[in-house]
Structure 1
Amino acid sequence: MSTRIIKRALLLGAAFSLATAAHAQTADQAPVETADSSALGDIVVTAERRSENLQRVPVSVAAVKGDDIRAFQAGGEDALALAGRVPGLYAETTTGRIFPRFYIRGLGNIDFYLGASQPVSIIQDDVVLEHVVLKSNPVFDVNQIEVLRGPQGSLFGRNTTAGIIKFDTIRPSMDFNGRASASYGSYNTATLDAGVGGPIVADKVAFRLSGLYQRRDDWVDNTFTGTGADGTRGGKDALGGFEEKDVRLQLLFTPTEALSINVSGHARDYDGTSTIFHRQAIKRGGNNVQSEPRDKIALDEGQGNPQAYTTYGGSVNAALELGGVTLTSITAYETTAGFSRGDTDGGAAANFPVNGLPNGFGQSQGNVRDLDQWTQELRLASNGDGPFKWQVGGFYFDSRDDTEFYQRAFFLTPPANNPNNFVRLHNVNTSWAAFAQGSYALTDALTLTVGGRITEDKKRTALVRSTRNAAGTVDLFPATAPRDVRLKATEPSFDVSALYTVNPDLNLYARVARGFRGPTIQGRSAVFNSPFTTADAETIVSYEAGFKSQPTSNLRFNATAFTWRVDDIQLNGNDADGNGVLFNADHANAYGIEAEAEWRPIRNISFSLGASALHTEIKDKRVFAQVCALNGRTTCTVLDPTIVRTIFGQPATLAQVDGNPLPNAPKWQLNAAVRYDIPLWNDGALFVSGDANVQGYTNFVLYRTREFYADGNLEAGLKVGYTTPDQKYEIAAFARNITGEKNLKGVIENYNAAVFNEPRIIGVSLSGRFD
């Protein structure tokens, strides 16, 4: 075991030592607390589309409170901050803040294509966000986040083979109230997350106005001293900043006791820097990136890696009580437009010569010219407390976008440029589904739940404009390749679960579920004058069993063991141009466990612990993935068996990936958090809180190497502050990534380029609420 991993283990252990020491000191000095004063209280979730106690839901669910995610985001982080805080959940990006990629129980998608599908669905206020840009919609004025692990195909549909992340914001109410959190820290990082609402017409109309402002200065120096082929120049504090502005208005109408209508609209304006790749930060034969400066890089192209998006959306969520049933209709619309540009080779080519010549250039830009997503759900559900609970419904999804991809020659200054070096694609995805679920209490102790869904999913990608020569006279896309590709899948999904109450403090459950991810088309390859690649639908069958326990009012402990198999699993590798290529492998297997505990021994001390262990394995001896290569040379140390094949007229090395783990599937994760409050004479309190998470071996690509993985990544945070006697206001000093860890989060293979985690941010925060 390396000293780095030992250091991380010791630091994580220190969090528990702090909790134990705090408990011992308080137990000696403080008066005896009553059981009620330290009770954890119930957690209510909507994992099964109705409000239920977390301990009574036969699904593996993790719930994150709004205040907890706001504490993580005080340092400028976005939804990726969830990674490492929820057992079994991992997240990363190689396309900046507008394209997060989530993984649950090892299942995800490393594809950076703007039309990529993911097996983790994002649901925000009951609206599915399917497109990768919509998945980056910021989280603000949020009430609770639920992470549902495992297939959720019955109630939430296709593309949930791994699970879903469900964001529920604070809704309008007839009581006037508000809250705000503000922070300021290193690199002029600032965040303001606020919401206010209350009645407009007593008992009839209420509102909630929420907003987010988040920014950071550019803090990464571009040390390039020349003028790039596209006019790029270096400079101090040239990259790394961003500005996020978001607003949401909700209006709640309750014209009668039986009818409620929530109308919501939101807008986003984002401008920032896309992901920065550090070329050759990963040296061949090793994995240590500590010598690479985080705040300096030489980029000769890309004009500072800019990205910008505007997003608008709205929904109408209406519920009508009809005696013993409730009819719910959710209508939603989302639209976005923007671009992201980057120097994808991650360094000035002049700094990496081959035979005295600059080695390797890479630059690209993806544009979403326009995207329109419409969704409609209609659901009829029982609302009584009887032994039989049920719901039936239908769902329709329609997403259409025009997306462009630009390559390097487009950006070069004349006469070297090619103004026709881009493609425009038109993408259409439509889907309909019908579903039903029933839950019946067979006895006072045993409840059986059965759900099913039938879904049709259609995809179409059409090449509207192909690449041409500089004069615009020659079409470079192969004449024999299809320019309009259509795929379709109709699949059933189901889940069957049983919940057995051993006693009021212990519930056992078991669940089997089937789900699927729709077929996928990879159209970006057209910018390299290569045919589209496709992948057929993948299907998953998952088995899990676990327990949910609360042996005392101040201790909650839940754990789950699971196994799954995905047939025709969709994978993504690279072709000779470094472009993503879709394909299906025969199947992949996995098994693992996840556990969470929360303990409040007395009112003034609380801590939590989460852990997961995972084994994933690709199973297909026929599947090979192209390995890291540049200028005909392999740039990394490949540990798998390899073969050489001719691709696009050039020899290429491919690795057999049978038996390898899935990319971005950590073998284990561990997270801990603690808070200790010290009562003061005025009934206010000083507090100290800390959190830490550490991640085991994680492979970043399909094949195994000595370079492209992470092991022992750790991040920790600390917060010290004061709360007022009424506990409504808090002022604090905080540090995110307090030890300044430089963790490897992703790679660009052919350039041995590294993607790093967020830098250390030290600052102050102020939060408050009123009602």
Structure 2
Amino acid sequence: MLRISRLAGALLATTTLASSPALADDLENGEEQTSAGTGASDSGEDIVVTARRRNESSQDVPVAIAVIGGDHVDATGSFNVGRLQQLTPTLQFYSSNPRNTAVNIRGIGVPFGLTNDGIEQGVGIYVDDVYNSRVASATFDFLDVAQIEVLRGPQGTLYGKNTTAGAINITTNQPTFDFEGKAEVSIGNYSFKQAKAAVSGPLSDTVAARIAVSSTSRRGTIYNISTSQWIQSQDNLGLRGQLLWKPAGRLEVVLAGDYSEQAPSCCGTVYVRTATTQRAANRQFAALAAAQGYAPASTDPFDRLTDLDGELKARNKIGGASLRVKWDLGPGELTSITAWRFWDWDPSNDRDFTGLPIVTRSQNPSQQDQYTQELRYNYSGRTVDFVVGAFAFHQHIDTQGTEQQGSASTRWNIAPTSSLYDTGVLDGLTARNTVYLKNTSAALFGQLSWKVTPEWTIQPGVRLNYDEKEGYYQRRVFDGSGAELLLNDTNTYTAVQSAQLAIYAPQEIAPRFSDWNFSYDLTTSFKAAPDVLVYATYARSFKSGGINLNGVPTDSTYRAISAAETVKPESVNHYEAGIKTQFWGRRATLNLAAFRTDIANYQANVNNSQYGVLRGYLANARAVRTQGVEGDFSVRPDERFNAYLNGAYTDGSYRKFIDAPCPPELSGSSSPANCDISGEVLPGISRWSFSFGAEASVPARFLGQEGEVFFGYDGSYRSRFSSNATPSQYTWIEGYDLHNFRAGFRADSRFSLYGWVRNAFDEKYFEQLQIASGNTGLIAGSPGDPRTWGMTARFEI
């Protein structure tokens, strides 16, 4: 009832704002304004997007697309993708740390769980046309953003094999030949401090430059009583510089470089609950904890207390450089984008989720370099538009992993009836992992828009892609004295060795994958009226096959099961129909879309009961389907008021997955090896999700400045969702709603001062739940941010 009353109150407030006479000045006769479409912009101007690699109105693009303007990003505090999901209902973001981050659209994209470097993501992230291959880039602060486009549905023709679910296309502000500058400072509770600045201007008649910087820090929201430290903090720094050379003629060259780093006290979990598994009673969490005199810091997760005894860090550096050349050839434009990017990851985790020294070290630092080259030609004519191009990609990742058992491990993992129970045979047991990946891809692509009549357009697209992955995974195991544990040909081991091998077994695999793939799509659109576009799309897309680089399950002799080294490519059939409309003199916009996506050989990230596969591995689910309906509505009756309401119904399920991992309630020594979860819901999908908001203003004078007082509200709601690859009664996250408010003053002289509060009603919710390994029944979780509040001052020149 409380949630319903909050939602009703928020909608009532929005309705009241809309009907207020003070906010409804009549437009002049004949004046038309184009609505923001998705709550993206407060300007009321036509929204120009580059979804089809050329500038055009978002209402003319036959793609389901949400557009969030840079001003709206700043005003709502949506400074990374994690916060952006509150504005776009079909975008889902899950992160236990920057490396283990999933960004999904319509419930698909990245397998839910710990990241495996051997697979592609299904949501492509692009910044100024440069592809970011690692989802970790989504955890950094947006830097000097002009606009963000969230393209829903497969975008494989123009954006590549990594966009089976959609793409996030981020455009930054570009260098200008007119001097401009802006600065923003925010402070808030939890010692929140954020500063942003950007300056742009000419260096000569043909050269302009732009530089931007951003810094964010915040105290953590969870207190670790073991280390007397606040964790889940923020500590981000970002820099971006661009040089524009525009000589006489039709040539434009932009050289850009960026660098970002994070060094938070992160990332930990809190105790949530325990599940009853199939293990013996003395091998479940309550008995195991009691045997060692252990109790969690709190059994109420929203006390925000933990007792993790392992070191926690998530140091993260990412950056690169790009050269973008555009040459206007008259009827068409030739574009070249050359880019290099790097990512250095230095983590430490506590993977047993307790204050006991069970797993005392769990870290997989890695270093990545990627190189991309795209060349495309874009032609626009009276009856035909087309884009043709080529793309090349190479990625190299090196990882050095360490996992170590502590002094509490033996009694935690070995039964009390065993003679080894009090021997400490697992204390100091260490696995050292060496992993690398070489990933090469090349593609040719093209998309044609044939205007059969001025109203009717047919748009086919094709892409030919080649992929090659070469990986290596080696795990060497050492006991507490430093002696290496090896497998032998006779498969005979002492009781001590068998106990140690059950935790970490040596393993060496060198998986490879290579294949060609041809994907295509066909869209037809029709202008039923000047402001009404209807369209239908069929897309045949794919996601490249993967290789397992986190280790694979072992057989009864502790040897790797070779069949699990690789996973098949996903094969995607997508159907979509939509309508885009504007009415009331273009003061209002309503866009609707219905879709269905069928995926064969869906790549799922799974875990089994073996301790030796702590980090999970990849497997193919035979068939998956996601389908639903989306709606985006926005209205701007005049320059003093705008509002939006976006919603989605999404139904995603495993159509056939007969050998899936079992949920915790069916796991343990007496459980089946696999479970049939055909028909069960996909993880991370809320059946219902909404975002809604409004902003209103009235003329005012403050501190001698003419301007306006404004009040803004943004809310979101999502229904419950499963937080485990296999649905479990213990890992459902209940639905929740979040409400954010802002109010302040904007001067005509480009000065603004406003206060804000986010999660205003202090909703208690989880972002993610995790199942501890070993079938003990422990469920840990990551609580979402509590109520935060603060103030922002912004200046522009």
Whether these two folds match at TM > 0.5 is yes
Q: Hey, what does 1:372 align to over in structure 2? A: 369
Distance 1:122 1:585, change over 3 A: same
Q: Hey, what does 1:256 align to over in structure 2? A: 248
Which of the residues 511, 529, 532 maps onto 1:485? 511
**SS of equivalent to 2:268:** coil
Contact 2:271-2:298 within 8 A present in 1 as well = no
**Superposed counterparts of 1:505-524, under 5 Å:** 505-524=531-550
Which of the residues 550, 569, 587 maps onto 2:582? 550
Distance 1:32 1:311, change over 3 A: closer
1:33 aligns with 2:27: yes
Which of the residues 325, 329, 337 maps onto 1:318? 325
**Cα shift readout 1:56-76 (whole Å, capped 9, x = no counterpart):** 1011111011122223337xx
TM-aligned CA deviation for residue 86 of structure 1:
0.9
Which of the residues 148, 153, 160 maps onto 2:151? 148
Distance 1:106 1:293, change over 3 A: closer
Distance (Å, rounded) in 2 between the aligned partners of 1:397 and 1:530: 34
**Superposed counterparts of 1:748-767, under 5 Å:** 748-750=770-772, 751-767=778-794
**Cα shift readout 1:165-220 (whole Å, capped 9, x = no counterpart):** 11111111212112222211011111112211111112x10111011100112453
Which of the residues 211, 233, 238 maps onto 2:230? 238
Contact 1:87-1:670 within 8 A present in 2 as well = yes
1:662 aligns with 2:682: yes
**Cα shift readout 1:694-727 (whole Å, capped 9, x = no counterpart):** 001211123332221123211110101011134x
1:43 aligns with 2:43: no
Distance 1:411 1:53, change over 3 A: farther
**SS of equivalent to 1:12:** helix
**SS of equivalent to 1:656:** coil
- Consecutive unaligned residues in structure 1, runs of 5 or more: 225-233, 351-359, 629-633, 635-641
Distance 1:600 1:477, change over 3 A: farther
TM-aligned CA deviation for residue 137 of structure 1:
4.2
1:271 aligns with 2:266: no
Contact 2:654-2:681 within 8 A present in 1 as well = yes
Distance (Å, rounded) in 2 between the aligned partners of 1:415 and 1:618: 42
Q: Hey, what does 2:351 align to over in structure 1? A: 344
**Identical residues among aligned pairs (%):** 25
Distance (Å, rounded) in 1 between the aligned partners of 2:24 and 2:632: 28
Match of 1:142, as an amino acid?
A: V
Q: TM-score, normalised by structure 2?
A: 0.85
**Superposed counterparts of 1:459-478, under 5 Å:** 459-463=469-473, 466-470=476-480, 473-474=483-484, 476=486
**Superposed counterparts of 1:43-442, under 5 Å:** 43-73=47-77, 78-95=80-97, 97-108=98-109, 109-115=111-117, 116-202=119-205, 204-224=206-226, 234-235=227-228, 237-281=229-273, 292-294=300-302, 296-303=304-311, 305-349=312-356, 361=359, 363-368=361-366, 370-382=367-379, 384-409=380-405, 418=428, 421-442=431-452
1:731 aligns with 2:753: yes
TM-aligned CA deviation for residue 31 of structure 1:
4.7
Distance (Å, rounded) in 1 between the aligned partners of 2:544 and 2:488: 27
Contact 2:455-2:527 within 8 A present in 1 as well = yes
Distance (Å, rounded) in 1 between the aligned partners of 2:350 and 2:150: 34
Distance 1:114 1:412, change over 3 A: farther
Contact 1:618-1:660 within 8 A present in 2 as well = yes
**Cα shift readout 1:618-645 (whole Å, capped 9, x = no counterpart):** 12252221322xxxxx4xxxxxxx6x79
1:700 aligns with 2:723: yes
Distance 1:759 1:216, change over 3 A: same
**Superposed counterparts of 1:494-509, under 5 Å:** 494-509=520-535
**SS of equivalent to 1:20:** helix
Distance 1:621 1:300, change over 3 A: closer
Contact 2:658-2:674 within 8 A present in 1 as well = no
Contact 1:114-1:132 within 8 A present in 2 as well = no
**Cα shift readout 1:9-29 (whole Å, capped 9, x = no counterpart):** 3323323211221232225x8
**Which segment drifts farther, 207-216 or 702-711?**
702-711
Distance 1:264 1:669, change over 3 A: same
Distance (Å, rounded) in 1 between the aligned partners of 2:331 and 2:580: 30
**Which segment drifts farther, 257-266 or 743-752?**
743-752
Q: Hey, what does 2:493 align to over in structure 1? A: none
Contact 2:179-2:202 within 8 A present in 1 as well = yes
**Cα shift readout 1:504-553 (whole Å, capped 9, x = no counterpart):** 11111111112111111222227998736431110111110111111122
**SS of equivalent to 2:164:** coil
Distance (Å, rounded) in 2 between the aligned partners of 1:533 and 1:758: 38
TM-aligned CA deviation for residue 132 of structure 1:
3.3
1:560 aligns with 2:564: no
Distance 1:600 1:111, change over 3 A: same
TM-aligned CA deviation for residue 105 of structure 1:
1.0
Q: TM-score, normalised by structure 1?
A: 0.88
1:539 aligns with 2:571: yes
TM-aligned CA deviation for residue 459 of structure 1:
1.4
Distance (Å, rounded) in 1 between the aligned partners of 2:723 and 2:308: 26
**SS of equivalent to 1:466:** strand
Distance (Å, rounded) in 2 between the aligned partners of 1:126 and 1:752: 41
**Which segment drifts farther, 305-314 or 127-136?**
127-136
**SS of equivalent to 1:524:** coil
Which of the residues 692, 695, 698 maps onto 1:678? 698
TM-aligned CA deviation for residue 555 of structure 1:
0.5
Contact 1:69-1:81 within 8 A present in 2 as well = no
Cα RMSD (Å) of the superposition?
2.8
Distance (Å, rounded) in 2 between the aligned partners of 1:526 and 1:538: 20
**SS of equivalent to 1:272:** coil
Distance 1:247 1:412, change over 3 A: farther
Distance (Å, rounded) in 1 between the aligned partners of 2:305 and 2:553: 28
**SS of equivalent to 2:158:** helix
Contact 1:469-1:476 within 8 A present in 2 as well = no
Distance 1:684 1:300, change over 3 A: closer
TM-aligned CA deviation for residue 135 of structure 1:
4.2
Contact 2:404-2:430 within 8 A present in 1 as well = no
**Superposed counterparts of 1:579-590, under 5 Å:** 579-590=615-626
Contact 1:509-1:547 within 8 A present in 2 as well = yes
- Consecutive unaligned residues in structure 2, runs of 5 or more: 35-43, 278-296, 410-423, 490-505, 773-777
Q: Hey, what does 1:631 align to over in structure 2? A: none
Contact 2:473-2:550 within 8 A present in 1 as well = no
Match of 1:276, as an amino acid?
A: G
Contact 2:271-2:306 within 8 A present in 1 as well = no
Distance (Å, rounded) in 2 between the aligned partners of 1:622 and 1:327: 49
Distance (Å, rounded) in 2 between the aligned partners of 1:362 and 1:157: 41
Distance 1:102 1:449, change over 3 A: same
Distance 1:53 1:599, change over 3 A: same
Match of 1:57, as an amino acid?
A: V
**Cα shift readout 1:643-691 (whole Å, capped 9, x = no counterpart):** x797xxx966643211011111111101101111122256421111111
**SS of equivalent to 1:107:** coil
Distance (Å, rounded) in 2 between the aligned partners of 1:346 and 1:462: 29
**SS of equivalent to 1:349:** coil
Q: Hey, what does 2:767 align to over in structure 1? A: 745
Contact 2:192-2:217 within 8 A present in 1 as well = yes
